[in-house]
């Protein structure tokens, strides 16, 4: 007989107008890392909130260590040894690590909080699992990765032996992700069981023992990871075949569309971030900019799109200078821009999704005539785009805020691609999205290339750069240090180039 | 689950009801009959053509100051300065209205434009400082209120008159008062300004909801970053929004100068026409139609309350507490919105 610590059987949870979980089974074995896999909005967080006592299920039963239980609130979950690290951390910024961890369960000595004892316990726990947390640091002074470890410590401190991690890697750098993987391994070696929510298949293949898949609120099944493969997991998740290596024909580059000469750009703090950069992008090719965040990529793109002034140098679009033009002029001269931060720049979240589809063109015919908007034409246009790009929204009048991340991004892409620009700039176009949406977006970028457009792709994901680009420009310290093609390089070499080693050196290793 | 539209209507209605209930409790606590009190309030606002005329008269400037605050709010700005804009608008209206000699169809529009321009200028300064220097508009508009108050007093005493406390009356060719309205409302001070205020509400609605300029203003209000990304001139829109808001409040001042009073006295304190405009806009959900309705409600409260001491024996101090309570609940409609949202979530 199997030794399950957590059993959730036939769970159903409804929200007004939507069934978030229907008939889902999840059985977690003692000491395993169990992945919960599903697209954005599949119902993963909901299921875990049910286990953690934040929501009450309409149907189904929960067993903990074989006992049937009724988890009415998080305190009950706590007593049962269940701890959860939420997608959004719940820490007090101005408190120290220790204060945050003991909050609500302060150890007392003569009715005074015994901080010293708590600190010792925290250090002991931290050492045991390799967390390396400084108990005296203030939360606001430590990195996001560290904050996450504090959240993990908090649950351990309360004696949890089942740990739920809700998309823990979404906020981490690749380095931090590796460290988290090691921490998880040391946790299970001490007998703790982990439920890991994610939609990244690589992570599942690396650390998980078994994986339960849910799709659109329905339980699809549980597989043993070592008997499975990323392709199988992906198709279970999205319900159809998914290809990882994006199919594409060789590029047919034509004239130079974007030409950047000796460009210099400063950041907000007046530090020179782009230092005399040169770059050409031709019609019919995708140039991927690879680089570690903070090497001037953001400033480069803001300079091209007119959002940030250039100090010196020249930016030419179809041989015409667009240096230091206003964003409006840049847009009108034929550039579309899928911005890196879709909430800050890409959408007016409180506008209906329909009105967001004309964010740059609202003043032009046919959407406006003599300064008066034609809502009929605006919404006809929006309807067309939404259908064509399969943006899932209740209707066109829904505020953009209410859409899921993937659908917001699809809406932005629809809007930007539809303007048929000469140059399409895509900055981190798939950040935070699941494989289905990523595949769709990559296809669109390649389609645009095949229509003869120049595409400039900025990404911090090497897979994406390798898969989609025809040519890779490696950016380091404000300059393009190397131009390579995906065929003549590999992730290893790219990683080294991005860290500043020269091609010769990188090639040797 | 309620729909969003219903929700937006429900919030102000509940606010007003809560205010009335709280007022009733206060009256009961002090031994007065709240039903009699509210009947007196109702009669004081609608009981005769005179009272009704006064209610409309009181609502007229509220519509304009409410629109002013609402307009700025829709573009993400908090115009605390409607009060000062009322002062300069009033001053300009009376000045032009009393000193120029021209036929009505030239004189009256010119006077109104002058008042609007004066208010617009008073809004332009905080707008410019916000757009170019990033100074918060709340601080500047509050300071501009004091400048307006003392500047108007100075102008009345030393420029418009020779040390007098009131200006000359505006000439008939610039006056909004009307014999006919006077007669049908038994000599209330109701004037034609209500038509101007209602017309302004229609213009504001059209501008905000139907034009490209309104699209930009709303977009900048919600998300200046995305607006800049989309090619809109955020600074220009901030200035424009404050200028239009100022012009609306300036017209509110003209209502007092050309209609209610026909002149401008020196003031020892603020008129509150502009400050009440903040509550009017909030209650009206920062939309044009809502603002008009809210302005009428405020007119009813202000004018109807005058009848409560005589008709129901409620002392006027208590009446002020009751109306303040109603305004308090109205202003805390955000709180009510929040509570309703919790109910909405917990349903099912
Ligand atoms: N509190 C809630 N009220 C209403 N709907 C919700 C609530 N929480 C989640 N949902 C809906 O339930 C579905 C599943 O959401 P969620 O569990 O957050 O998905 P995931 O974590 O897999 O991305 C989504 O359609 C979401 O919009
Ligand atoms: Mg989630």
Asked if residue B328 belongs to a domain, the reply is: no
> What's the ipTM?
0.86
- A429 within ligand 1 shell (Cβ under 6 A): no
Nearest CA in chain B to A56: B348
What are the chain A neighbours of B218 within 8 Å (beta carbons)?
Answer: 351
Say how many domains are in chain B.
1
Query: What is the per-residue pLDDT across A81-115, written as a single tens digit (0 to 9) for each?
Result: 999 998 778 888 889 999 999 987 777 777 788 88
The residues facing A264 across adjacent strands are: A275, A312
**pLDDT at residue A357 above 90?**
yes
Q: Residue A492's pLDDT is what?
A: 80
Burial class (CB in 10 A: 0-12, 13-18, 19+), B94: buried
Chain B contacts to A (CB-CB under 8 A): 1, 210-216, 218-219, 222-223, 225-233, 347-348
Residue B73 belongs to a domain: yes
Per-residue pLDDT tens over the stretch A2-32: 689 999 999 999 987 788 999 999 999 999 9
- Provide the residue range defining the domain that includes B215: 61-283
pLDDT at A113: 80
The verdict on residue B230 lying in a domain is yes
- Give the one of B212, B223, B233 whose C-beta lies nearest to A368's C-beta: B212
Check CB contact under 8 Å for B219 and A359: yes
pLDDT in tens, chain B (348 residues): 355 677 777 878 888 888 889 889 999 999 999 999 999 999 999 999 999 999 999 999 999 999 999 999 999 999 999 999 999 999 999 999 999 989 999 999 999 999 999 999 999 999 999 999 999 999 999 999 999 999 999 999 999 999 999 999 999 999 999 989 989 988 899 999 999 999 999 999 999 999 999 999 999 999 999 999 999 999 999 999 999 999 999 999 999 999 999 999 999 999 999 999 998 998 888 999 999 999 999 899 889 999 999 998 888 787 778 778 877 887 676 677 767 766 655 543
For the CA of A16, the closest atom of ligand 1 is: 4
Contacts of A332 in chain B (CB under 8 A): 231
The answer to whether residue B43 sits within a structural domain is: no
Residue B178 falls inside a structural domain: yes
Name the closest-CA residue to atom 20, ligand 1: A41
**Cβ separation B212–A363 shorter than 8 A:** yes
Residue B307 CB partners (closer than 8 Å, separation 6+): B40, B41, B43, B44, B45, B47, B51
Residue of higher predicted confidence among A256 and A243: A256
Q: Which residues in A lie closer than 8 A to residue B240 (C-beta atoms)?
A: none
**Alpha carbon distance A474, B208 (integer Å):** 47
Q: Which of A43-47, A114-118, A418-422, B108-112 has the weakest average pLDDT?
A: A114-118
Domains A4-238 and A251-334+421-509 share a fold: yes
Query: Which tokens go with B69?
Result: 């605050």
State the pLDDT at residue B1.
39
User: With an 8 Å Cβ cutoff, are A350 and B228 in contact?
Assistant: no
Residue pair A221/A248 in contact by the 8 Å Cβ criterion = no
Average pLDDT of chain A to the nearest whole number: 91
Q: What number is the average pLDDT over the span A358-368? A: 96
What confidence category does residue A155 fall into, taking pLDDT thresholds of 50, 70 and 90? Answer: very high
Q: Domain for residue B11, yes or no? A: no
- Topology annotation, domain A4-238: Rossmann fold (3.40.50)
**A40: confidence class by pLDDT, cuts 50, 70, 90:** confident
Does A371 lie at the interface with B, CB-CB under 8 angstroms? yes
Which tokens is A412 given? 């932005």
Distance of CA A18 from the midpoint of ligand 1 (Å): 9
Sign of the C-alpha dihedral computed for residues B131, B132, B137 and B142 taken in this order:
negative
Distance (Å) from CA A43 to ligand 1 centroid? 6
Q: Atom of ligand 1 at shortest distance to CA of A49?
A: 17
**Chain A residues closer than 8 Å to B225 by CB:** 344-345
Read off the pLDDT of each residue in A263-289 and give the average, rounded to a whole number: 94
Closest residue by Cα to atom 1, ligand 1, is: A15
The pLDDT, as a whole number, for residue A436 is 83
CB contact under 8 A, B229 and A362: no
Q: Is residue B316 part of a domain?
A: no
Nearest to A373 among B215, B225, B347 (CB): B215
| pLDDT for the residue numbered A509 | 47
Q: Is residue B41 part of a domain?
A: no
What's the pLDDT score for residue A503? 67
CA atoms of A325 and A202, how far apart (whole Å): 42
* Token digits of residue A447: 């389609």
Contact A349 B222 (CB under 8 A): yes
**Which residues in chain A touch residue B219, judged by CB atoms under 8 angstroms apart?**
348, 351, 359
Instruction: Determine phi and psi for B159, rounding to 5 degrees.
Output: -110, -50
Q: Does any ligand 1 atom lie closer than 6 A to the CB of residue A363?
A: no
Which residue minimizes the CA distance to atom 21 of ligand 1? A45
Q: Do A307 and B229 touch (CB under 8 A)?
A: yes
Q: Which are the contacts of A172, defined by CB distance < 8 A and separation ≥ 6?
A: A144, A145, A148, A180
| Nearest ligand (C-alpha, residue A20) | 1
Decide: helix, strand or coil at residue B29: helix
- CB of residue A43 inside a 6 A radius of ligand 1: yes
* Chain B residues with beta carbon closer than 8 angstroms to that of A344: 223, 225-226
| Pocket flag, ligand 1, residue A45 (CB < 6 Å) | yes
Instruction: Measure CB to CB from residue A350 to each of B1, B222, B229 and give the nearest one.
Output: B222
Query: Per the CB < 8 Å rule, is B348 touching A16?
Result: yes
- Residue B49: Cβ-neighbour burial (10 angstroms; 0-12, 13-18, 19+): middle
The per-residue DSSP string of B217-247 comes to HHHHHH-HHHHHHTT--HHHHHHHHHHHHHH
Domain boundaries, chain A: 4-238, 251-334+421-509, 345-420
Residue A369: which residues within 8 A CB-CB, separation 6 or more? none
Rounded to whole angstroms, the Cα distance separating A234 from B222 reads 38
Atom of ligand 1 nearest to the CA of A214: 22
Cβ neighbours of A305 in B, within 8 Å: 229
pLDDT at B323: 73
Does residue A104 sit at the B interface (CB-CB below 8 Å)? no
Architecture category of domain A251-334+421-509 in CATH: 3-Layer(aba) Sandwich (3.40)
Find, in chain B, the residue whose alpha carbon is nearest to that of A350: B222
Cβ of B212 within 8 Å of Cβ of A351? The answer is no
């Amino acid at each position: 007989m199997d030794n399950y610590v957590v059993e959730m059987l036939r769970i159903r949870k409804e929200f007004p107008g939507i069934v978030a979980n229907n008939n889902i089974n999840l059985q977690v074995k003692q000491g395993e890392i169990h992945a919960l896999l599903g697209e954005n909005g599949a119902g993963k967080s909901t299921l875990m909130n049910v286990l953690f006592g934040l929501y009450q299920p309409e149907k189904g039963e929960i067993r903990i260590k074989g006992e049937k239980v009724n988890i009415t609130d998080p305190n009950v979950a706590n007593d049962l040894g269940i701890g959860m690290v939420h997608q959004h951390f719940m820490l007090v910024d101005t408190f120290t690590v220790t204060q945050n961890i003991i909050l609500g369960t302060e150890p007392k000595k003569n009715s005074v909080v015994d901080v010293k004892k708590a600190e010792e316990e925290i250090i002991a726990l931290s050492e045991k699992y390799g967390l390396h947390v400084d108990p005296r640091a203030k939360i606001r002074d430590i990195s996001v990765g560290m904050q996450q470890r504090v959240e993990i410590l908090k649950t351990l401190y309360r004696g949890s032996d089942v740990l739920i991690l809700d998309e823990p890697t979404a906020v981490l750098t690749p380095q931090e992700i590796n460290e988290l993987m090691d921490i998880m391994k040391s946790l299970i070696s001490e007998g703790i069981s982990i439920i890991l929510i994610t939609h990244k298949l690589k992570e599942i293949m690396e650390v998980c023992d078994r994986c339960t898949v849910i799709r659109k609120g329905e339980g699809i099944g549980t597989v043993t990871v070592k008997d499975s493969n990323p392709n199988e997991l992906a198709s279970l998740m999205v319900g159809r075949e998914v290809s990882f290596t994006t199919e594409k024909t060789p590029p047919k580059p034509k004239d130079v569309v974007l030409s950047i000469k000796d460009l210099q750009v400063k950041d907000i703090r007046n530090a020179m971030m782009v230092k005399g950069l040169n770059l050409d992008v031709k019609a019919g090719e995708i140039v991927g900019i690879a680089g570690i965040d903070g090497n001037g990529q953001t400033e480069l793109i803001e300079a091209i799109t007119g959002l940030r002034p250039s100090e010196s140098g020249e930016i030419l679009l179809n041989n015409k200078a667009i240096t230091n033009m206003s964003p409006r002029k840049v847009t009108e001269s034929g550039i579309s821009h899928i911005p890196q931060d879709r909430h800050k720049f890409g959408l007016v979240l409180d506008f209906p999704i329909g009105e967001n589809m004309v964010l740059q063109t609202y003043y032009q015919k046919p959407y406006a005539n003599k300064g008066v908007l034609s809502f009929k034409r605006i919404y006809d246009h929006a309807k067309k785009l939404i259908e064509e790009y399969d943006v899932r929204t209740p209707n066109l009048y829904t505020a953009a805020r209410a859409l899921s991340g993937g659908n917001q991004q699809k809406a932005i892409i629809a809007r930007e691609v539809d303007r048929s620009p000469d140059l399409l700039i895509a900055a981190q176009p798939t950040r935070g999205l699941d494989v289905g949406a990523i595949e769709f977006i990559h296809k669109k970028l390649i389609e645009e290339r095949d229509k003869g457009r120049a595409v400039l792709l900025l990404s911090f994901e090497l897979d994406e750069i390798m898969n989609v680009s025809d040519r890779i420009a490696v950016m380091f310290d404000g300059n393009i240090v190397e131009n390579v093609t995906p065929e003549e390089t590999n992730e290893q070499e790219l990683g080294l180039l991005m860290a500043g080693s020269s091609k010769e050196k990188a090639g040797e290793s | 689950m309620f729909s969003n539209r219903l929700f937006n209507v429900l919030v102000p209605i509940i606010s007003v009801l809560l205010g009335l209930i709280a007022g009733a409790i206060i009256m009961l606590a002090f031994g007065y009959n709240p039903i009699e009190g509210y009947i007196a309030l109702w009669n004081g606002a609608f009981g005769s053509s005179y009272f009704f005329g006064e209610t409309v008269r009181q609502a007229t400037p509220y519509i304009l100051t409410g629109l002013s605050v609402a307009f700025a709010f829709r573009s993400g700005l908090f115009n605390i300065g409607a009060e000062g804009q009322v002062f300069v608008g009033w001053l300009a209206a009376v000045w032009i209205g009393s000193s120029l000699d021209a036929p009505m169809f030239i004189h009256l529009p010119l006077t109104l434009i002058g008042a609007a321009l004066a208010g617009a200028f008073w809004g332009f300064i905080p707008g410019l400082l916000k757009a170019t220097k990033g100074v918060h508009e709340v601080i500047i508009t509050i300071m501009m209120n004091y400048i307006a108050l003392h500047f108007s007093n100075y102008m009345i005493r030393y420029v418009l008159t020779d040390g007098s406390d009131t200006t000359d009356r505006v000439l008939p060719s610039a006056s909004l008062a009307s014999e006919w309205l006077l007669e049908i409302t038994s000599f209330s001070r109701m004037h034609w300004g209500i038509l101007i205020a209602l017309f302004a509400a229609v213009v504001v609605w059209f501008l905000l909801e139907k034009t490209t300029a309104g699209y930009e203003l709303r977009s900048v209000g919600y998300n200046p970053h995305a607006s800049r990304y989309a090619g809109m001139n955020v600074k220009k829109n901030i200035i424009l929004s404050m200028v239009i808001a100022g012009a609306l409040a300036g017209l509110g001042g003209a209502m007092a100068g050309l209609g209610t009073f026909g002149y401008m006295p020196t003031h020892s304190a603020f008129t509150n026409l502009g400050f009440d405009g903040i509550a009017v806009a909030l209650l009206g959900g920062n939309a044009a139609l809502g603002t008009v309705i809210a302005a009428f409600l405020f007119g009813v409260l202000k004018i109807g309350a005058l009848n409560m001491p005589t008709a129901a024996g409620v002392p006027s101090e208590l009446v002020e507490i009751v109306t303040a309570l109603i305004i308090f609940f109205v202003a805390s409609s955000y709180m009510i919105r929040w509570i309703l949202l919790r109910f909405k979530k917990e349903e099912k």
